């Protein structure tokens, strides 16, 4: 049975329409005490429903390794046959079945709900909404027009953040519980809120006009999390907080300009390098941000694998092309193998077990971890390879003496290898020793700014630092061992011809096995053509200026000779 919107409030289960529209019509005579000064807070507001969304009721979603995301239109007047409905979750009956139920164990829950302005069937008196996740974050956005039927929302997460965006017409109690996080309200919501208590992580408050409070007509929200934060916004507010534009980036770029001026004043010679590095930073992060947004939306494991390989590939280019002062034969494939052999298994095992993410390829979890591992591993690989090549060139006599007395190449190069690995791991050890007391690392700072609790951010930073140390050690061992095997051959000879200086020509030898030498050769030809053209142009310009200077010089000499003989220059001009 459907209850019309204008039904009389008779009987214990009768439904009374919301008095909010009527109160709003009398705003000129007596405005409500909690009315917002923002014009966007006026209600009822028209409900604009996406064309692709179709009305439904009693929607139930339950996933283990995937996230629950989507836009849903809830029509409380729809009577869904029982054969189309799943079994009831624990703690629910037919009378208390959720109009919308979404749960994920290892994924996130993000639901955008549109509540239609239609009456509800008896004996129900409100729309029941339930969103929850065990290890992910939960975000629920509720939109509606006229408040015909109130809603009751329960949104929970064990290890993630819980965020709710409520309609402007919301009025009712809110209970937020968090053990290690904090409860945050937007300024607009705080202006309409009365806080009753906040004891031992439980905060009880009321949003709306307390003078018109009605337990049967008011909405209600229960939000719970153990290791995350709780946030409450209005549905038309900016959920991401303060928006950062390119103007903010330009203002921050002023600090780079200060460094450039500082370099120019003290003649440091790093001004151009700073500008190039800053430009690369802006371009690379802009591209990565756009690309990762697409990957996060698709939630495709193959796309995640492609991003992970791309990060390692670009890290290899950075090591071989920009960081290393000296290179050895087949350095590119060896470094790429070292990065892949260290970052991929450590990230998979670490995210799956240390971070308790069953779906380890979750883009928001896996890609940042791989990126941090690549960035930290680059320094260790560069230091170890550079040190080994330097020692084998400068202390060649000592190594050859060991080899001459019968030592194998591994025995002769062991002291060099040990020193190289010690130097490669020293920055990581120093960084771990000062974390927390002296410095707050960037990953922990980003997690806190992103909404995570301080305790959770600290634990994540500990886990990531242990990942970084293992990845740096493994990649340094692989790359250093391969470097020694290349420079010192099987005949126990130090092959100086396999060590190249930092030049584009020598870099081509490192890419021979990858079939890229032809491309490098073409680049050389193009470079030579451009160089020859520039030289020809330079010679032509210099020759033209020289001829003109010679003509002027000859004219001056002729003029001087004429003056000595008592003749004028105008009477005897020089012949062309």
Structure-block tokens of residue 343: 């970052």
d(CA 381, CA 475): 6
Local confidence pLDDT in tens for the 576 residues of the chain: 333 434 433 343 333 433 433 433 333 344 444 444 344 444 556 788 888 888 999 999 999 878 898 999 999 988 888 888 888 877 778 888 999 999 998 888 999 999 998 888 777 889 999 999 988 889 999 999 877 789 999 999 988 889 999 999 999 999 999 988 889 899 899 999 999 999 988 999 999 998 899 988 999 999 999 888 899 999 988 655 556 788 889 999 999 999 989 888 888 888 888 898 899 899 989 888 888 878 877 778 899 999 999 999 999 999 998 888 888 988 999 999 999 999 999 999 999 899 888 788 888 889 999 999 999 999 999 999 999 999 998 988 898 898 888 898 889 999 999 999 999 999 999 989 888 877 787 778 877 776 667 777 888 899 999 999 999 999 999 999 999 999 998 888 889 888 887 654 444 444 444 454 455 556 667 767 777 777 777 677 767 666 666 666 666 666 555 445 554 445 555 544
d(CA 224, CA 124): 25
Give me the sign of the Cα torsion angle 492, 496, 501, 507: negative
Query: Could you tell me which residues are beta bridge partners of residue 73?
Result: 55, 114
**478: phi then psi, degrees, rounded to nearest 5:** -65, -50
Residue 442, helix vs strand vs coil: helix
Query: Domain-by-domain residue ranges, the chain?
Result: 20-234, 244-298, 300-514, 516-576
Residue 432, helix vs strand vs coil: helix
DSSP label of 320: I
d(CA 505, CA 21): 77
Place of tokens 């009721």: 57
């Amino acid at each position: 049975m459907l209850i019309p919107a204008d039904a009389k409030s008779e009987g214990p289960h009768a439904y009374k329409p919301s008095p909010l529209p009527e109160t709003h019509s009398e705003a000129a005579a007596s405005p409500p005490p909690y009315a917002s000064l923002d014009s966007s807070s006026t209600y009822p507001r028209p409900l604009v429903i996406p064309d692709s969304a179709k009305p439904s009721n009693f929607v139930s979603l339950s996933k283990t390794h995937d996230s629950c995301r989507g836009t849903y239109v809830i029509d409380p007047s729809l009577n869904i046959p029982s054969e189309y409905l799943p079994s009831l979750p624990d703690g629910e009956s037919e009378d208390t079945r959720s109009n919308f139920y979404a749960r994920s164990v290892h994924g996130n829950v993000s639901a955008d709900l549109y509540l239609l302005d239609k009456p509800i069937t008896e004996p129900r008196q409100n729309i029941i909404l339930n969103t929850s996740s065990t290890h992910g974050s939960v975000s629920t956005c509720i939109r509606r027009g006229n408040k015909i039927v109130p809603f009751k929302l329960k949104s929970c997460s064990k290890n993630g953040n819980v965020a709710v965006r409520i309609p402007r017409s919301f009025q009712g109690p809110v209970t937020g519980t968090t053990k290690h996080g904090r409860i945050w309200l937007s300024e607009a919501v705080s202006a309409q809120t009365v806080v009753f208590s906040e004891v031992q992580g439980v905060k009880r408050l009321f949003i709306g006009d307390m003078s018109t409070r009605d337990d049967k007509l008011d909405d209600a929200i229960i939000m719970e999390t153990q290791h995350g934060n709780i946030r409450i916004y209005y549905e038309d507010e900016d959920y991401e907080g303060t928006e950062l534009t390119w103007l903010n980036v330009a203002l921050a770029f002023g600090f780079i300009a200060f460094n450039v001026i500082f370099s120019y004043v003290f003649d440091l010679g790093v001004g151009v390098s700073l500008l190039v590095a800053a430009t690369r930073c802006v371009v690379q992060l802009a591209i990565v941000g756009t690309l990762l947004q697409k990957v996060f939306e698709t939630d495709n494991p193959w796309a995640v694998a492609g991003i992970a390989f791309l990060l390692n590939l670009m890290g290899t280019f950075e090591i071989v092309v920009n960081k290393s002062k000296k290179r050895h034969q087949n350095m590119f494939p060896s470094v790429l193998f070292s990065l892949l052999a260290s970052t991929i298994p450590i990230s998979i095992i670490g995210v799956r077990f240390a971070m308790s993410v069953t779906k380890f390829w979750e883009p928001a979890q896996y890609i940042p971890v791989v990126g941090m591992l690549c960035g930290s591993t680059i320094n260790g690989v560069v230091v170890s390879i550079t040190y080994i090549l330097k020692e084998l060139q400068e202390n060649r006599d000592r190594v050859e003496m060991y080899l001459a007395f019968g030592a194998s190449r591994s025995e002769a190069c062991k002291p060099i290898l040990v020193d190289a690995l010690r130097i490669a791991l020293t920055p990581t050890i120093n960084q771990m020793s000062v974390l927390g007391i002296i410095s707050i690392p960037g990953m922990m700072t980003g997690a806190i700014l992103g909404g995570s609790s301080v305790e959770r951010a600290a634990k994540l930073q500990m886990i990531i630092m242990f990942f970084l140390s293992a990845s740096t050690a493994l990649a340094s061992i692989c790359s250093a061992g391969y470097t020694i095997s290349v420079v010192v051959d099987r005949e126990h000879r130090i092959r100086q011809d396999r060590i190249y200086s930092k030049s584009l020509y020598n870099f081509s030898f490192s890419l021979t096995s990858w079939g890229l030498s032809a491309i490098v050769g073409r680049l050389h030809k193009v470079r030579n053509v451009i160089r020859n053209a520039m030289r020809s142009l330079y010679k032509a310009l210099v020759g033209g200026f020289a001829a003109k200077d010679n003509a002027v010089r000859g004219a001056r000499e002729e003029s001087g000779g004429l003056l000595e003989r008592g003749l004028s220059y105008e009477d005897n001009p020089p012949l062309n």
